[in-house]
Amino acid sequence: MSSPWLILTISLSLLCPFSLCDNNNYCQWDSKTGAIFNLQPLTVTGDTLLSYQLTDGDIPCTPEIETSYVYSWNFCADITKFSLTPACVKSGITSGVAHQSFYYGDQPGQYGCNIIGTYDRNNKDNAITYKLLDQQDPSLGLTVTYQKGDVCSTHLDKTKVYQMTTIEVQCANVKASLVSANSPHSCENHITMKSYHGCPTQCLVTPNGLCDGHGYCKYDKLLKQPYCYCNTGRYGSACSSTTNSNNAMTEGMKKYDGHSVQLGLLITLLIVTIGLLAVVGYMVFRITDFRKKKLDEYNTSLSLGSTEMVDTVNF
């Protein structure tokens, strides 16, 4: 009885690549806000394909001439062989999920290549660190940070500081658009790009783009769930339908824009304020009435106390 299952298991393992069937796929992330992300579609595989690459040149309007660095990176995988720059090839560097290199010539000192980020799917602590761009609005995108690049510096206590790279993936209706790459601080590198894969997976992507090109990704703070907010005349979870759906959940999410909640809060606040004013007014009335009674009693006691007894004397 177990033989067919064994054969089926072996067959599936041969058909399914390790990178796609990995149960510990750290390219997927649950932000614990209702928004789930999956950067796996941004992974570039194949030796003849180019990973992501951007050059950070000289900073204008400064007297110094900064070195032009080439940043190369991938997602949840080492950069492809085709992405290795001449400086990295001459330096003998072939691994790493992110590289920083420069090349001016074949002489020593005229080229250099550093690994500024690594990824190890078998080591959770050295895999990926995620963070939302905005904790209050997960629909804006996320950042992914790679640790344990080359040693950048060593402290006096011999503690080593490693290169690290943070990639900011902004949610946008484009497959992959590279914005910038630089090193804002020593040993820290920052890359910015835009992609609809940087949106929560609940904001569906069709061949026409994010939300079928007829809406945009939005986060419902009331339901704690991201969704496609459709343009007028578009319906459905992906905004791909022109017919109004009877799905109350979808329609409720589409119509909800936060104004109703704000109006409800304002009305509640107004009622509470009126109630407080009424209580304060009643307290003032009681205190005034109490003081008046006490004052009347005091005046009465003074009147009685000032009356003098006069003896009658007969002459």
Q: Who wins on pLDDT, 186 or 253? A: 186
* Residues 220, 127 within the same domain: no
Is the per-residue pLDDT at 261 higher than 70?
A: no
Q: What CATH number did the domain enclosing 250 receive?
A: 2.10.25.10
- Residues whose CB is less than 8 angstroms from the CB of residue 166 and which lie 6 or more positions away in sequence, other chains included: 143, 144, 145, 146, 188, 189, 190, 191
Q: Tell me what pLDDT residue 312 has.
A: 52
Q: Tell me what pLDDT residue 11 has.
A: 39
Entry field: residues in the chain: 315
- Tens of pLDDT, residue by residue over 221-243, are 999 999 999 999 999 999 999 88
Q: To the nearest whole percent, how much of the chain has pLDDT over 70?
A: 78
| Spatial contact of 112 and 89, defined as CB atoms under 8 Å apart | no
Find the range with the poorest average confidence among 142-151, 197-206, 240-249, 294-303: 240-249
* Residues 190, 227 within the same domain: no
Classify residue 307: in a domain, yes or no.
Answer: no
State the pairing for strand pair 164-171/188-195.
Answer: parallel
Using pLDDT thresholds of 50, 70 and 90, give the confidence band for residue 97.
Answer: very high
Q: Tell me what pLDDT residue 10 has.
A: 36
Q: Tell me what pLDDT residue 273 has.
A: 92
- Tens of pLDDT, residue by residue over 46-84, are 989 999 999 985 555 656 556 789 999 999 999 999 999
Residue range of the domain that includes 184: 23-200
Burial 14-38 (b: 16+ CB within 10 A, else e): eeeeeeeebeebbbebebebbbebe
- CA triple 188-138-122, angle to 5 deg: 55
* Residues 117, 149 within the same domain: yes
- CA triple 52-162-186, angle to 5 deg: 80
Give how many domains the chain has, as a whole number: 2
| Spatial contact of 73 and 79, defined as CB atoms under 8 Å apart | yes
* Residues 109, 53 within the same domain: yes
C-alpha span between 249 and 147 (Å, rounded) = 41
Domain finish residue from 200, 225, 258: 200
Q: To the nearest whole percent, how much of the chain has pLDDT over 90?
A: 55
Is the per-residue pLDDT at 253 higher than 70?
A: no
Q: Where are the alpha helices (DSSP H) in 181-258?
A: 248-255
* Residues 152, 58 within the same domain: yes
| Spatial contact of 54 and 178, defined as CB atoms under 8 Å apart | yes
Using pLDDT thresholds of 50, 70 and 90, give the confidence band for residue 298.
Answer: confident
* Residues 137, 261 within the same domain: no
Q: How many CA atoms lie within 13 A of 57 on its CB side?
A: 2
Is the per-residue pLDDT at 262 higher than 70?
A: yes
* Residues 189, 216 within the same domain: no
* Residues 147, 272 within the same domain: no
Classify residue 250: in a domain, yes or no.
Answer: yes
Classify residue 39: in a domain, yes or no.
Answer: yes
Is the per-residue pLDDT at 292 higher than 90?
A: no
**Sheet hosting strand 177-185, strand order edge to edge:** 129-132, 141-146, 164-171, 188-195, 177-185
C-alpha span between 114 and 88 (Å, rounded) = 8
* Residues 219, 278 within the same domain: yes
Is the per-residue pLDDT at 306 higher than 60?
A: no
Q: What is the mean pLDDT of the chain?
A: 82
Q: Tell me what pLDDT residue 314 has.
A: 56
* Residues 93, 184 within the same domain: yes
* Amino acid occupying residue 31: S
* Residues 61, 47 within the same domain: yes
* Residues 143, 223 within the same domain: no
Q: What is the mean pLDDT of residues 14-30?
A: 56
- Tens of pLDDT, residue by residue over 162-191, are 999 999 999 999 999 999 999 988 899 999
Question: How remote is the C-alpha of 291 from its chain's centroid?
Answer: 60
C-alpha span between 116 and 122 (Å, rounded) = 19
